Structure 1
Amino acid sequence: MRPRLTIGWLFLGLLLAFAVGPLIVFVFAAFKTQSELADDPLGPPAHLLWSNFSDAWTQAAMGRGLLNSLILVAGTVAGTLLVAGLAAYAMARLNVKGGGLVLGYLLVASSLPMQMFLVPLFYIWTRAGLYDTRLGLVIIYVAVFSPFATLLLRAFLLTLPRELEEAARMDGAGELRVAARVVLPNALPGLLTVALVTALSAYNEFLFAVTFLQSDSSMPVSTTFFAFQQSYVQNGVLNAAAGIIMLLPMLILFLALQRRFTDGLANTGMSS
C-alpha cells in the first residue's frame, strides 16, 4: 500500500511541476537582466530587477491596454448577464413554446468555432460603422458568450425551489417583480459564476480583438502585449514583465472570488 501511495505522490508532484514550472521560469525571467537571461534562462535571478516592470509598463503602454480591457470586460459582462439572464429565466421558469429547439440551438451555437463568423462580421461591421470601435467588439463578445452563459445560468436556475416564486405570484407580484425580488437574490452565485467566466473569456480573447480593433488607443491588453512582443522580440525580460502585468488582474480577481466561483459551478448541472 505504501509503495502505491509513494508512486501516487510522485505522479502528482510531476504534474505540479509540469503545470507550475513554466510559470515560475516566466516569473524568474521578469526579474533578470537580458544578459542574465541568456546565461541562465531557467534559474532564479541573482537580484530582483523591479525596473523591468516600469520599463514594460511604459514601453508597451500597458496602462492604456488594461483600461481598454476593463471597458471591454465590463461592457461584455453587463450585456451577457442581461441577455443570458433574461433568456435563462424564460427557459427555466416560463413555459416557452419550442424551448427544446432553443436549447438545441444554444448548444450548437456555443460549440461552433468563432473563426466561422469573422468574414461576414467584418463585412457587416464595416458597413454599419462598428469596425474599430469598442462598442462593436462588445456586441460581438456578448453574442459569442451569451449561448454558453444562458445554458450555465439556466442549469443553475433549475436547481432553485419554486415555492417562493409561487408565493410571490399569489401575493400579486408580476413576472418582473418575481425575477427581480425573488429569483435574482437566490441566483447570485450562478450570476457570479457566469460573470467570472465571461470576464476571463473577454479579457483573454485575441482573435476578434486583433481583427476588429486597429487603433492603438482602442486596443485591449491582449493585442497590446502581442504588438509589444513583436516589436521587442529580442528583449525577453521586458516581454516576461509585460506578460505578468497582463496576468495579474485576472489572477487577483479569480483568487478573490474563487470560493464563490467553485460554489456556483458545484451547484450547476447541465440538466434539462
Structure 2
Amino acid sequence: MQILYGVHPVEEALKAGKRRFDHVLIARERRDDRLEAIVNLCRDLKIRVRTEPRETLTDIARTQAHQGVVAIVRQQEFLTIEDILAPTGDPRLVLALDGIEDPQNLGALLRTADGAGVDSVVMTERRAAPLSAVAAKAAAGAQEHLRIARVVNLVRALEDLKRQNIWVIGLDERGTTDYDRFDFTGDCVLVLGREGEGLHDLVRRTCDHLLRIPMAGGVSSLNVSAAGAVVLYEAFRQRRAKQRASAGSDKSAGASSKPKRLKGLGS
C-alpha cells in the first residue's frame, strides 16, 4: 500500500477512480468545505473515513504538510512501453524523463504535463525518483490523470518510439536549435535529463534533435521542471494554434460550399 496526503492528491485520486482505497484519515482539528467534499466523495464511493488527531496524521505521513487528510491506497499501476506505442489517432506528445531524481521536480513536471496536454509519460525505473507521496503532493494529483509507463532501458524505449515515426527531441543546453523554432505539431517525444547533469550520453545520441532554451542572464540553464514547463507549453501553444486554424478553415470551407440563394421576383 501507499500513502497519499494533501487535499489535491487525495481528491484527484478519488475522482480519477483508478486506485483502490483502504481508508482515509481526516484531522479532527480541521473542518472546512474542502475536507467535507473529500468526506462526501468517500461516502459516495463507500470508502472508510476515520477522524484522528492531527499528530497521528503527521506521524503516518511523516510530514506536517498533509493539510489534514491522509489516504492509504494501493500503489499506482504503470503502463508498459507497448501501451504507449498504441496509436491514439491524434498527434502524440510524449514526455520522457531521463533519471529525474528530485521528487519535487518530478511532481512539478507531471503537473505541467497534465496541463499542457501530454499524451503519455515515460519514466526510468532505476536511479530516478519514485512516484512517492512527496511527488504526488507536488503534482497536486495530476499523476492520477496521466498515462505513465516505467521502463528499465530508456534508450530502447526511445528507439521503439522512433520506429513508430515519433520524433525524439532532447532538451539540452548544448543544443543548436532554439526550442521555439521547432515544429511540435506532429508526433514527438520530449526528453528531459537529470538535475545538473542533463541527458545521459546514450540518450542524447538517440535524440533526433537537440533543442535549447536561450538564456539572457548569467545563468546557463533553468531548473529542469521550469525548463520542461517552458517547452511543453510552447508545444501546447503550437498544437492549439493548429487546431484553431484547422477548425477555422473547416468553417470557411463549409460556408463556401453552401449554395447561394438566388434573388428573383418576390425576393
Mark yes or no: TM-score above 0.5. no
TM-score by length of 2: 0.22
Q: TM-score, normalised by structure 1?
A: 0.22
More relative contact order, 1 or 2 (CA 8 Å, 6+ apart): 1
Larger proportion of helix: 1
